Amino acid sequence: MSTRVVIDPLTRIEGHLRIELETEGGAIRKAWSETTQFRGIETIVQDRDPRDAWAFVQRICGVCTSVHAIASVVAVENAIGANPPRQARLIRDIVLASQEVQDHVIHFYHLHALDWVNVPSAATADPAKAVEFARSIGSTWKGNTIERMTAVRDTVQQILDSGQLSIFTGGYWDHPDYRLPAEANLMAVAHYLDALEFQRSMIRIGTVFGGKNPHPNFLVGGMACTIDLDRSESINQVQLDQIADWVAETRDFVASCYLPDALAIMGVYKDYFDIGAAQPNYLAVGLAGATFGGDPGASRTTSAHTEVKPGVLLDGDLSTVHPFDPTKIAEYIASAWYTYQDGDDAGLAPAQGETTPQYTGPKPPFEWLADADKYTWCKAPRYDGKPVQVGPVARILLAYAQGHQRTCELVDDAAGKLGITVDQLNSTAGRTLARAVEAMISAEALAEVTFPQLVDNLKKGDIDVFDNSRWDPSTWPDKGEGFSFVEVARGNLSHWVTVEDGKVARYQAVVPTTWLAGGRDADGQQGPYEESLAGAGSHPLHDAAQPLEPLRTIHSFDPCMSCAVHVLDVEGAELQVVTS
């Protein structure tokens, strides 16, 4: 007899995600992914000046503000025919790269690592042995000292003695499946705290170019910042020197700390390379940071890795890269609380997308949502009718399939150390490892390609970051449609805009978490979250009161529900009126 299990809220994510499960015999048989907030940003920007859209749509998320802003300005530029200068594109690439590495580090240490790392156990560790463990896994991080490990161990003990676990409250610390030795737990907790310090460097890079964080400034046609190496009120030599230091720090942290930690921890939980597989279909337009205005088959990219082309891998075949066709994307609402003019079983291309909420679920508080066909606010995107995975695992597999040298080196090295095959990256542990591999590639590209290119151009006198030839609306067509594809930390992000008579007539955003968290479509196909939990019928869940195993799997996707949904008042009250 099956047992119903509800995880709500699913913690250590951005926004609210609810998972409903049916389990039997210690395994998950059925799963439903439910986002319980509504996102209405697309309707807010209608009838507004398209040059302002980025300022509104970057509020889609509280973390990924920059990436939504860049996706928006690129889509608008595609619609009105704007062409930003080379330096502006490089600055956007630097912002994207720094944000992506910061996001991956936050995910691994602060949103996901505690699924594997037992914090209270660290208080029992020998600091000297913790240093030995760090060295044994190849970690050369400067924080691997006996003094540092001792201080962290004592801090953990003080927290335990206080009786209040502070930021570590709510963990399933008595769960028997925490497997790391105490010394490994101490090392990981020390690196968890170091990562909090490190991520400030990443934020500073975006802040210099965007003026502030969160919600930095961008500009249709270029960048809002100015560059003059000799003036204090512009980006100058002093700030460039600071950025150079932060870029070097980024590469050092990822190489000496993050990647070795990910390899070591996933090696202890090696069976999770056989747990949590979702549909073996993958979509990406390149490695992280790849940016296209319009059809990637015909438009330019500013990625540091132009050799990795847009593509799709289908049905687990990693040897055949299919051409990417944006016209094959459609969003379905068979399980979502929306309505379409053509019927709720239809699929709409994003350029013709509709955002018409129609809540038909039970009145809160409720115990179970999945008894009804509609159970989520998240639409279900499909590519050529298929559920696909996006994100680091899709990008790494795509790059590997195309023979990208650095990707192949890192993946083959990891696979050799762990004793796994490449196709096992489609798993809970594989998604976590792919993110660390990608962070290494991005940190190297930032240090060796993108930032040096910007500096070299500046040395040649190129300080142009804005093209105003399309700023005046009188230069725009009466009607223009544009879209963008940007590979961001969590996956493939696209914004779609229609501009008519100088205003936004239609706007849609298809975000990474929508691709992954969406529910069943009209054909009953599960979304990737659901498939990863229930697809094989063997995903473990041994204790419904401590659902650590499904948390590990869903966290491996790095959920960001704020991107997929927005605010809902349970009484239906108007929360805020926004006026221009």
**Which residues carry a binding-site annotation for Mg(2+)?**
42, 566
The rounded Cα 395 to chain-centroid distance in angstroms is 12
Nearest CA to 464 out of 169, 228, 269 is that of 228
* Radius of gyration in angstroms for the set of CA atoms belonging to the chain, rounded to a whole number: 23
Nearest CA to 148 out of 201, 197, 81 is that of 197
Strands 347-348 and 3-7, sheet pairing: unpaired
The rounded Cα 104 to chain-centroid distance in angstroms is 8
The rounded Cα 127 to chain-centroid distance in angstroms is 34
Distance (Å, rounded) from C-alpha 507 to C-alpha 493?
14
Distance (Å, rounded) from C-alpha 94 to C-alpha 442?
10
For every residue of 366-400, DSSP letters joined together read -S--TTSS--BS--EEEETTB--B-SHHHHHHHHH
For every residue of 498-532, DSSP letters joined together read EEETTEEEEEEEE-HHHHHH----TT-PPPHHHHH
Nearest CA to 130 out of 160, 153, 159, 97 is that of 153
Half-sphere exposure of 552 (CA within 13 A, CB side): 29
Binding residues: 42, 61, 64, 560, 563, 566
SS3 1: coil
Binding residues for Fe cation: 64, 563
DSSP H or E segment with residue 485: strand 479-488
Let me know the angle formed at the C-alpha of 261 by 259 and 266, rounded to the nearest 5 degrees: 100
Nearest CA to 551 out of 146, 217, 196, 171 is that of 171
Residue 36 in tokens: 């319980």
Distance (Å, rounded) from C-alpha 407 to C-alpha 386?
26
- Cβ-proximal residues to 213 (8 Å cutoff; 6+ apart), any chain: 65, 203, 206, 207
- Cβ-proximal residues to 518 (8 Å cutoff; 6+ apart), any chain: 33, 332, 335, 336, 376, 378, 379, 380, 381, 387, 527
Binding residues for Ni(2+): 61, 64, 560
Q: Taking a C-beta distance cutoff of 8 angstroms, is the pair 69, 77 a contact?
A: no
Cis peptide before 9 (omega within 30 of 0): yes
